Amino acid sequence: MVRVELIHTGTELLTGARLNVHAQWLSERLSLLGYEVSRQVAVADEAGAIRAAVAEALGRVRLVLVTGGLGPTSDDRTREEIAGLLGLGLKLDERVLKRLESFYAARGRPMPERARVQALVPAGAVVLENRWGTAPGLAIEVSEELRSAWGRGKAGTFSEGSGWLIMLPGPARELHPMFEEEVMPLLARLMPVEEEWASVTLRTVGLPESQVEREVAGVLEGVAPAVELGTCVHFGQVDVRLSARGPGAHARIRKAEAAVLALLGGAVFGRGGELLEAVVLRLLRERGATLAVAESCTGGCLAHRLTNVPGASEVFWGGWITYSNEAKVKSLGVDASDLAAHGAVSEPVARQMAEGARRAAGSTYALAITGIAGPTGGTAEKPVGTVFVACAGPEGTDVVRRFHPGDRLTFKEVTATFALDLLRRVLMDRGRR
Name the amino acid, one letter, at 334. Answer: V
Helix pair 249-264, 209-223: axis angle to 10 deg: 130
CATH architecture for segment(s) 276-432:
Alpha-Beta Complex (3.90)
CA distances 191 to 5, 51, 163, 240, 358, Å, are 14, 23, 9, 28, 55
**Longest Cα–Cα distance in the chain:** 82
| pLDDT values of the chain reduced to their tens digit, one per residue, 433 residues | 899 999 999 999 999 999 899 999 999 899 889 999 999 999 999 889 999 999 999 999 999 999 999 999 888 999 999 999 999 999 999 999 999 999 999 999 999 999 999 999 999 999 999 999 999 999 999 999 999 989 875 555 677 889 999 999 999 999 999 999 999 999 999 999 988 999 999 999 999 999 999 999 999 998 888 899 999 898 999 999 999 989 999 999 999 999 999 999 999 999 988 999 999 999 999 999 999 999 999 999 999 999 999 999 999 999 999 999 999 999 999 999 999 999 999 999 999 999 999 999 999 999 999 999 999 999 999 999 999 999 999 999 999 999 999 999 999 999 999 999 999 999 998 756 5
Q: Where are the domains of the chain?
A: 3-190, 197-271, 276-432
Helix pair 144-151, 47-58: axis angle to 10 deg: 100
Q: Could you give the CA distance from residue 300 to residue 316 in angstroms, rounded to a whole number?
A: 14
Enumerate residues 6+ apart whose C-beta is below 8 A from 45: 9, 10, 11, 69, 75, 76, 77
Q: Are strands 291-295 and 316-321 parallel, antiparallel or unpaired?
A: parallel
Q: Cβ atoms within 10 A of the Cβ of 346, count?
A: 19
- The topology (CATH level 3) of 197-271 is Alpha-Beta Plaits (3.30.70)
- The topology (CATH level 3) of 3-190 is Molybdenum Cofactor Biosythetic Enzyme; Chain A (3.40.980)
Strands (E), 150-236: 163-168, 197-205, 228-234
Identify which of 40, 50, 60 has the alpha carbon closest to the alpha carbon of residue 161.
60
DSSP 296-320: STTTTHHHHHHHTSTTGGGTEEEEE
Q: What share of the chain is helix, strand, coil (3-state, %, to 5)?
A: 45, 25, 30
Identify which of 85, 82, 171, 66 has the alpha carbon closest to the alpha carbon of residue 121.
82
